[in-house]
Amino acid sequence: RNLPCKNLVAQKTSHSPLPLPSATAMATFSILPSAVFACSTSSDSGAPNPRPAKLRPDWREKSRPIPPGGIYPAKDHCSRCGLCDTYYIAHVKNACAFLGEGMSRVETLEPVVHGRGRKQDSLDETYLGVYEDVLYARKIEPVYGAQWTGIVTTIAVEMLKSGKVEAVICVQSDPEDRFTPRPVLARTPEEVIAAKGVKPTLSPNLNTLALVEAAGVKRLLFCGVGCQVQALRSVEKYLNLEKLYVLGTNCVD
């Protein structure tokens, strides 16, 4: 925001003041890699008294993920998507499909994600949402142990091999129990293939989001169900991604 100031002082990161013209001016507050600009007023002696700009705390610092065994915001309606296990819980009120306006928020997300809303005169889009084409596909040679001939697994593997994405969020199984989900940030085709097959249970896929930032991933493929995708799209702008792809699968219900 532009604010009037009598004097401006530019402070380098070394804290060496560089005086600027003292005439009345309009200052724009901004943070640059090499300098912080802030307003200051002159003392009685006429010398400038620089005041450091107060920076707004990062929302991640205030965020408090739900501890193991804790109660989630949506309580009995919670699908354990994993969002609240991370600092992205700070956005749960607008991201959760089971709080407030819930799943009806999809209508406001569609123009952001697809560039337009549903066509009002299209019965198909009324039920299916925004789409370009509706296709039916299966593999001629199914992936052993995969669901739906392994079409989702194959798409994910090919996107990783081609370099279209750097990582895939998918769900492997616990080595001791195939029905116990273990969300992973897969970086190799082998890790994706290890996630083949449906796990008919609630899975906290979004608890991997902190790993995405820590790993510096910029191009990501997310595999998950509706409530997870809705929450993901709601916090997408905070992920610092260059590209986000989504492969939506059937809900556990």
Name the more confident of 32 and 55. Answer: 55
Q: Which residues of 43-60 are buried (b: 16+ CB within 10 A; e: fewer)?
A: eeeeebebeeeeeeeeee
113 falls within a domain? no
pLDDT-derived band at 222, boundaries 50, 70, 90:
very high
Handedness of CA 89, 91, 93, 95 (dihedral sign): negative
Name the more confident of 95 and 250. Answer: 95
Enter the tokens of residue 200. 């008919």
pLDDT tens figures, 60-117: 777 899 998 999 999 999 999 999 999 999 999 999 999 998 888 888 889 988 999 9
Report pLDDT for 45. 53
Q: What is the pTM of this model?
A: 0.74
Q: How far apart are CA 107 and CA 57, in angstroms?
A: 31
253 falls within a domain? no
Report pLDDT for 130. 92
pLDDT tens figures, 102-151: 888 888 889 988 999 999 899 999 888 899 998 999 999 999 988 889 99
Name the more confident of 211 and 38. Answer: 211
155 falls within a domain? yes
130 falls within a domain? no
Report pLDDT for 252. 63
Residue 245 has pLDDT above 60, yes or no: yes
Q: Tell me the residue range of the domain where 145 lies.
A: 136-248
Of 13, 33, 50, the residue that ends a domain is 50
Enter the tokens of residue 167. 């990582």
Q: Which residues of 14-41 are buried (b: 16+ CB within 10 A; e: fewer)?
A: eeeeeeeeeeeeebeeeeeeeebbbbbe
Residues 225-241: what's their mean pLDDT? 94
Question: In total, how many domains does the chain have?
Answer: 2
